[in-house]
Amino acid sequence: FRNRKKMEMKVKILDADSRSPQIARTLDQLEVPVPKLVWFIRHGEAEHNSQGDWGIRDPSLTQNGRKQARALKHDALVRGALAGSGSGKFTQTLIVTSPLRRALQTAQSMAEGIAGSFGTMVNCRMVAHPDLQETSDSPCDTGHPPTLLESEFPEFDFSCVKDGWWDKSRPGNEQRLERVYRFSEWLASRPEKRIICIAHADVFRGL
């Protein structure tokens, strides 16, 4: 405590004289821990939600679902994360979504809403991650091959998505909590300090 008190006093004294620029440069070089902010957003209303039909394979958003996603521009936290996204390590934002179509379309519409409000495109990376997929093996939670998704959603990075990613019987893919834990580890390893995750209700219950 005494050493800390002396150090604080020394900094204050030096900061008051002509050597303050040197202190500023020194402080800039320090590795200051910055908290990681993560937003979890459930996808908008999809066709199987509105029709009550879980037999639709990988359904798209309804018009109402797209409207819900675009309305995220009114959320101050989301708007601040996306509209202020830059290239610095403290300001860069990542959007990561489930590879199911309704989650990808939610990210698309959210970005469109922000761009429409600010007159500029959202400048951040968008990545699809298979461990954010919904938990059941129903047709509505059964996705499509990455080659098809890449042609439909060219703005997304599908490098994490492999053929058959939706198959819940694959080794390492059977347990929801195993997928959630694996995703949490991936999330912690990311360099971005602001991350928006778009996925599904049952996935979020496991986080």
Q: Among residues 195, 204, 199, 198, which one has the least CA distance to residue 77?
A: 195
What would the two tokens of residue 169 be?
Answer: 């019987």
Better pLDDT: 3 or 123: 123
- Phi, psi angles (nearest 5°) of residue 172: 85, -5
**Residue 117: how many other CB atoms lie within 10 Å:** 14
- The percentage of the chain sitting over the pLDDT mark of 90, rounded to a whole number, equals 54
pLDDT at 4: 44
Query: For the chain, what is the mean pLDDT?
Result: 82
Which one-letter DSSP state was computed for residue 73?
Answer: G
pLDDT at 149: 97
pLDDT reading at 3 higher than 50: no
Better pLDDT: 177 or 108: 108
Q: Strand, coil or helix: what is 39?
A: strand
Mean pLDDT across the stretch 32-42?
82
The answer to whether the CB of 47 falls within 8 A of the CB of 87 is: no
**pLDDT tens, residue by residue, 54-101:** 999 999 999 999 999 999 988 888 877 776 555 444 456 899 999 999
The answer to whether the CB of 192 falls within 8 A of the CB of 94 is: yes
Q: Which of 26-30, 54-58, 122-126 shows the lowest mean pLDDT across its residues?
A: 26-30
Output the CA angle 50-143-127, nearest 5 degrees: 100
**pLDDT tens, residue by residue, 38-57:** 999 999 999 999 999 999 99
pLDDT at 146: 97
As a whole number of Å, the end-to-end CA separation of the chain is 39
pLDDT at 26: 55
Mean pLDDT across the stretch 19-33?
53
pLDDT at 9: 37
d(CA 92, CA 131): 23
Binned at pLDDT 50, 70 and 90, residue 151 comes out as very high
Q: Torsion over CA of 143, 147, 152 and 157, rounded to 10 degrees?
A: 90
pLDDT at 142: 96
- For the chain, helix, strand, coil in percent to 5 are 50, 10, 40
Better pLDDT: 137 or 121: 137
Mean pLDDT across the stretch 196-205?
93
